[in-house]
């Protein structure tokens, strides 16, 4: 489907500011929505919202359906009398300018446990049982998975006692009873998360701001999804993967990326019309308004790596489900608000699949200047309307960091194409995308702030030190919002045309780019 002409900001909720060690769904999130509205932004793009596992990556979650309980606002729990003010002091000594996952996770879990104990003591349902009944299809397995994982000291499910590791019905019943309190705790966390998220999403939608979510094509091996649905994945009898997902050597890594996710048994999934995927997409569209499908090219063909390999070099391309998958999804849902992440090693069949279902693809402006011939399809003059354009994504360096680390020829090509000096380069990139024919433009918050590599969100291939950047309170300024609003107004990306007003010839411009002939 095609989208209205609009612009937005990419910022994951963990990157919001606040006093509890990690961005959450509290007042700062509402302030950010207000700021987006002031900036003329109509889209807020986030990363996957699931509970993160190894490496704290939102692309390696314990569930494709659950919410990340680290995003639960302690202040909200205090307002509904599940925490006292002295409880909140437990988290106020955590770093505020970045996320220290090793410190915040145990501290916040302890606080959430206190809220759960208070919830039980009050014996007030508050819609909890109705929530559990409505979400039973995924919630029961997820809550038991998390409880069992804690009972096995966090170990992967393939190392658990064999009966429960293999999800045998008798073992499921036995462990559900044995760990009943922990199971309820994790259901409580999901109830609290979705109550808070639903309120925040409603607040954004009422202000004409849509949430752009993210579905990674593959799920983590150590997840409730794989543990509870082993027949849908390419696994050995003991549950370990036969082959795993990844990508061959590319722009980001000379040895490729060995993701470690198990591969789907697409033939098995096709037998019931991809019901598991239908449930997954339905759950996502309950949570967000638009879904970006990460690694879309995997539906056409995916890189399969033997699980025994240490890198992703020795793999092979295998055919994905292709049009059959999207026909089944379209039959179930009709026209879907999907974005195809069509980056990387792309072959014609990927574009054909994308265009067959009229899905907008992605363009990254940072990628436009590697070729000396100015022939890249990442150059804005080559865009089509049904496109989502970015200066960079969560996997890229910030645009300032990219430019500073680029070679002199690439820097020169960027300055020549954008017709600006290096001081004005990042904001000229933003203005160029706003002016382009692309229906959708999304700018990482770090680029709107013109920050350097120190603000980078993720470095693909590295297992530590990612996902920790947080915005500072004073960076969400009126001046920045005013400049972005000006771009949205000038280039037709507001919800409705701004009211005409008499121009003051002496008024400063919305956005003040430092023009220079130093190309």
State the catalytic residues.
294, 341, 395
Spell 383-398 as b/e; 16+ CB within 10 A means b.
beebbbbbbbbbbbbb
Query: Per-residue DSSP letters for 18-79?
Result: -SSSS--SSHHHHHHHHHHHHTT--EEE----SPB-GGG-TTSBS-SSS--GGG--HHHHHH
What are the tokens at 397?
């360096």
CA dihedral 363, 366, 372, 376 (to 10 degrees): 0
Describe the strand order of the beta sheet including 257-262 as a list of residue ranges: 257-262, 243-247, 301-306, 316-319
Residue 277: phi and psi, rounded to 5, are -70, -35
- Output 202-209 pairs: Cβ under 8 A, ≥24 positions apart: 203/30, 203/33, 204/33, 204/36, 204/44, 205/289, 207/33, 207/34, 207/36, 207/37, 208/37, 208/42, 208/495, 209/8, 209/33, 209/36, 209/37, 209/41, 209/42, 209/43, 209/44
- 3-state SS track over 472-509: CHHHCCHHHHHHHHHHHHHCCCCCCCCCCCCCCCCCCC
Residue 402 burial (CB count, 10 A)? 27
What are the tokens at 46?
């986030």
CA dist., res. 255 & res. 392, Å (int): 22
CA dist., res. 295 & res. 75, Å (int): 36
Residue 517: phi and psi, rounded to 5, are -90, 5
CA dist., res. 309 & res. 243, Å (int): 9
């Amino acid at each position: 489907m095609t989208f209205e002409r609009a612009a937005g900001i990419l910022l994951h909720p963990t990157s919001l500011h606040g006093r509890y060690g990690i961005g959450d769904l509290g007042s700062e999130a509402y302030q950010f929505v207000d700021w987006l509205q002031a900036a003329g932004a109509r889209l807020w793009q986030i990363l996957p919202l699931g509970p993160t596992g190894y490496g704290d990556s939102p692309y390696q979650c314990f569930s494709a359906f659950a919410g990340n309980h680290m995003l639960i606002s302690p202040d909200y729990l205090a307002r509904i009398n599940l925490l006292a003010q002295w409880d909140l002091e437990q988290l106020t000594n955590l770093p505020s300018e970045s996320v220290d996952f090793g410190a915040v996770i145990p501290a916040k879990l302890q606080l959430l446990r206190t809220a759960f104990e208070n919830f039980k003591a009050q014996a007030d349902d508050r819609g909890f049982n109705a929530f559990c009944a409505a979400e039973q299809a995924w919630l029961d397995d997820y809550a038991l998975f998390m409880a069992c994982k804690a009972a096995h000291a966090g170990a992967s499910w393939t190392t658990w006692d064999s009966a429960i590791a293999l999800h045998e019905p008798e073992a499921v019943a036995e462990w559900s009873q044995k760990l009943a309190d922990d199971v309820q705790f994790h259901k409580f966390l999901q109830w609290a998360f979705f109550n808070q998220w639903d309120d925040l999403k409603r607040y954004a939608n009422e202000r004409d701001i849509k949430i752009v979510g993210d579905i990674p094509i593959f799920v983590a091996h150590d997840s409730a999804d794989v543990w509870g649905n082993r027949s849908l994945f390419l696994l050995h009898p003991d549950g370990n993967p036969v082959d795993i997902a990844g990508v061959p050597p590319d722009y980001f890594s000379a040895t490729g990326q060995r993701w470690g996710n198990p591969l789907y048994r697409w033939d098995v999934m096709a037998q019931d019309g991809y019901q598991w995927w239908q449930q997954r997409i339905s759950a996502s569209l309950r949570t967000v308004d638009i879904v970006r499908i990460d690694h879309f090219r995997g539906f056409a063909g995916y890189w399969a790596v033997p699980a025994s390999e240490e890198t992703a070099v020795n793999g092979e391309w295998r055919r994905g489900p292709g049009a059959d998958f999207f026909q089944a999804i379209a039959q179930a849902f009709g026209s879907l608000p999907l974005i195809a992440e069509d980056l990387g090693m792309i072959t014609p069949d990927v574009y054909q699949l994308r265009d067959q279902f009229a899905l907008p693809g992605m363009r990254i402006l940072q990628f436009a200047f590697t070729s000396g011939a100015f022939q890249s399809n990442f150059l804005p003059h080559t865009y089509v309307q049904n496109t989502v354009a970015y200066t960079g994504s969560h996997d890229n360096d910030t645009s300032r960091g990219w430019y500073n680390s680029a070679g002199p020829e690439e820097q020169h090509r960027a300055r020549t194409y954008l017709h600006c000096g290096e001081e004005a380069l990042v904001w000229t990139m933003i203005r160029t995308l706003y002016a382009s024919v692309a229906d959708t433009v999304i700018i990482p918050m770090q680029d709107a702030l013109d920050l350097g590599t120190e603000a980078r969100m993720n470095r693909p291939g590295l297992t530590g030190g990612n996902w920790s950047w947080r915005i500072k309170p004073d960076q969400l300024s009126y001046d920045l919002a005013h400049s972005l609003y000006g771009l949205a107004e000038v280039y037709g990306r507001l919800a409705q045309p701004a009211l005409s007003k008499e121009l003051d010839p002496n008024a400063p411009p919305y956005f003040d780019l430092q023009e220079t002939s130093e190309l």
